Structure 1
């Protein structure tokens, strides 16, 4: 290296599991030691199911299957699969020490014919909105009439709902449900801004306030119920049998068992693992911005924040809607007042959990922080809290090659100054004996934009935060959890009309 640049390697962060044991791979730790000890770990998985009769049958069949050992599939030279990253599944109780009954704790049945009729409607806004309504109404009816509460709901959706419940989906003309009339975004905007004498027109226009995404819309519309929901495809629970030479993007049954069981255990309140080396008093916050286009609104973006601790606990805060996006700068920035309000919520929640404010608070963002925004953040933290702003971006125009066939080693870093550097969170992983990717791995640029901190410690923190994704049991992510789910959280925050609500745990959004 030349000048003040220097190359270093950041060791793989260790994770803590049961019996105070550590490992660097979640599957190793869970297989050998079980989840980290916590009084929140369930003894039984009390799961409710919202599904058609076929979906309910597939759910029960899948739960029965994960109680047993599941082997990895035999090698198939025609299928690209990373054998080093494929693990046998020992059984749910063997891994998590909890029973998962195949009979649901509660059941809300959906009429399959009516669901199909709704999702195939010609007006995509009305079709997705009304299909979501079937699940929403079934759950709300249960909550009104029953006292017993599952800790987690599985919303099982058919392949048809998954296919046509996404943005840009188009139903073939011959399959469309007849008799539905498309209002259109332009007409909806006119009705919602100018008003209408007819309640039917207002109701039809209101549907256009919702995103064309079944998954996100369902999550957003159920936030006020305080029920945790896992949306899962029928094909995930019961994969179709493919011909020997057929290609499939589906994961093998053992991998599905690892990933879906891990996220379910986490969402039900369990603690799968945590960072082995916790830094006391440290809080990490990821900024979330999402552009919006609403028929009735003038503001162009919604802001939010994700707060994470080394234990893996996370909260999502919804900020205000406003003109936060600048087309000329292609960047998002809060004004000083809203930045202060958002930070006040974060510090208040951290203090409520720990009894005192954080000693260090790192804000991770994809864009830089302007002076007004940072002044607002700074004004809302107590004097004992050290506030640091870190910009983290993917860099596609920087490549490093090694001699031989292997990619650059994960954890490689190039420190370019006291406040910046390149960090390869993707790369060759000795534990897996491979690089689990297809293209030459790109680094992250890590830049301290506000405040002061040790750049090497900041990079170590970023590496650690790539191992706190409880949405599966993979070795690591390419992005820290503070930014990994920023787009998804933003989409759910804006999937319907923007309404204020109290901060909710991160598990409500993934």
Structure 2
């Protein structure tokens, strides 16, 4: 699609700065952490407590990395043909130097799993049962520790062998494996058939069919109920050189060691500390952002969906609120809440905001991937006080139908926006970043399409909305990247929905965002 820039304004939204210690700012998390440290840095370095669960080899690989991230990790020299000045790569200075937290590798609490037990569990004939049993191999260690040990664990690390990824995912074929009989048949039992099988299936067994047979989703749901943050790490991530294919090459292509160090340390900080490592320095005060989440419930013949909201504040951290299950799907990939559910969900968000800030927000933005129906929007409006302006924004990904180039051949600057009218724009949240002297991506960047659909008062300035969205692409605390392509309000919607739609996640009505990633 070609645009005539004489009739369609092209703007550049400045790179949002991030806030660090000493009230210093930097657009790049790694630079800010290296130079200043996390934005809330106590005078005494906190010592975190880590629990790790895995087979003996996996625990050994993690302990090797635990020693590594306490020291400097250099970026490897460039390979032949690579730029010498690779500004998107940064030496890792050490976890205490960058994040002002520490731990004693000798004090890591380690629980070794029986690999034969895990192998047998993942060979169970019924896939739902196989994944449930594999999860229990890990969570049983946590329950044992909680019951028998006084030492508190700040974060649990699960070290996963590759067989988990091969066998514990939806529609895993498990071809060539000698499967073993469990408590259920090979064919998934429909919930309507359960009364006929009461002698075989008890209430506890029935619950395994409320979950998608996916290890990652079920693990997050399980640790949500156990009230622990968790991090899942593959053995091949920790020791790629130990896993070679038939040709003698590493079985997985991974990031350089310094980048892995940054990401491991970021996750440890985020999941053990009260506040995230950086915040949005340019965030407009008194503004809150909600990302709506919908996920169809597994094995529900009515195709009911779980609804939820992710709330993010100027500080950057988020909270997830579970709403009601219901028939929210009104069309293909279109979800719209009924009035009572819409009102109750927003009320949960505002009650939490009021508890944190002592009053309502000045502006509340709802980010979604669809439009808002009239009765749905009226319910949203009825839940907010008069002093709060409610704004509905649709954020859609595009897939190559719109392209823009710089100087005819090069990717446009990140932050470039084409303004279609007062309420609609294309925004390039990926693109060339001058500070890094590169565009990090496999192909020409695609924009996201932003539409300001509704407002309880006067429509906000489109440029303010675009600036907010640019900022929300920089608060993914599960990695230490310069930016993401999507704002955090929609970036993790699927992952959060994947966890909340698990039957085993029932009862987790409100939890910090860090429990879900």
TM-score normalised by the shorter chain: which range applies?
Answer: over 0.9
Q: In the TM superposition, what are the counterparts of 1:195-344 in structure 2 within 5 Å?
A: 196-200=197-201, 203-240=204-241, 248-269=252-273, 270-294=275-299, 298-327=302-331, 329-344=332-347
CA distance in 1, matches of 2:384, 2:42: 31
Query: What's the C-alpha RMSD, in Å, of the aligned pairs?
Result: 2.4
Q: Structure 1, residues 301-321: CA drift from partner, whole Å, max 9, x if none?
A: 111110001211100001111
Distance 1:69 1:39, change over 3 A: closer
CA distance in 1, matches of 2:148, 2:294: 38
Q: In the TM superposition, what are the counterparts of 1:26-425 in structure 2 within 5 Å?
A: 26-38=29-41, 43-77=46-80, 83-173=86-176, 175-180=177-182, 183-184=185-186, 187-192=189-194, 194=195, 196-200=197-201, 203-240=204-241, 248-269=252-273, 270-294=275-299, 298-327=302-331, 329-396=332-399, 397-403=401-407, 405-425=409-429
Q: Structure 1, residues 371-425: CA drift from partner, whole Å, max 9, x if none?
A: 1111111111111111000001112211112225420111101111111111110
Question: What is the Cα deviation at residue 248 of structure 1?
Answer: 4.0
Q: Residue 435 of structure 2 aligns with which residue?
A: 431
Question: What is the Cα deviation at residue 62 of structure 1?
Answer: 0.9
Distance 1:17 1:453, change over 3 A: same
Question: What is the Cα deviation at residue 342 of structure 1?
Answer: 0.1
Contact 1:364/1:391 (<8 A) preserved: yes
Q: Structure 1, residues 23-45: CA drift from partner, whole Å, max 9, x if none?
A: 11111111111111255996112
Q: TM-score scaled by structure 2?
A: 0.92
Distance 1:24 1:376, change over 3 A: same
Q: Residue 13 of structure 1 aligns with which residue?
A: 16
CA distance in 1, matches of 2:60, 2:118: 17
Q: Residue 457 of structure 1 aligns with which residue?
A: 464
Unaligned runs of 5+ in 1: none
Distance 1:247 1:61, change over 3 A: closer
Contact 2:159/2:235 (<8 A) preserved: yes
Contact 1:105/1:150 (<8 A) preserved: no
Question: What is the Cα deviation at residue 69 of structure 1?
Answer: 1.6
CA distance in 1, matches of 2:265, 2:84: 21
Q: TM-score scaled by structure 1?
A: 0.93
Q: 2:106 aligns to what SS in structure 1?
A: coil
Unaligned runs of 5+ in 2: none
CA distance in 2, matches of 1:186, 1:480: 37
Q: Structure 1, residues 468-498: CA drift from partner, whole Å, max 9, x if none?
A: 1111111001000111100100001113356
Question: What is the Cα deviation at residue 264 of structure 1?
Answer: 1.3
Contact 1:466/1:480 (<8 A) preserved: yes
Contact 2:224/2:505 (<8 A) preserved: no
Aligned residues: 506
Paired residue for 1:481, among 488, 497, 513?
Answer: 488
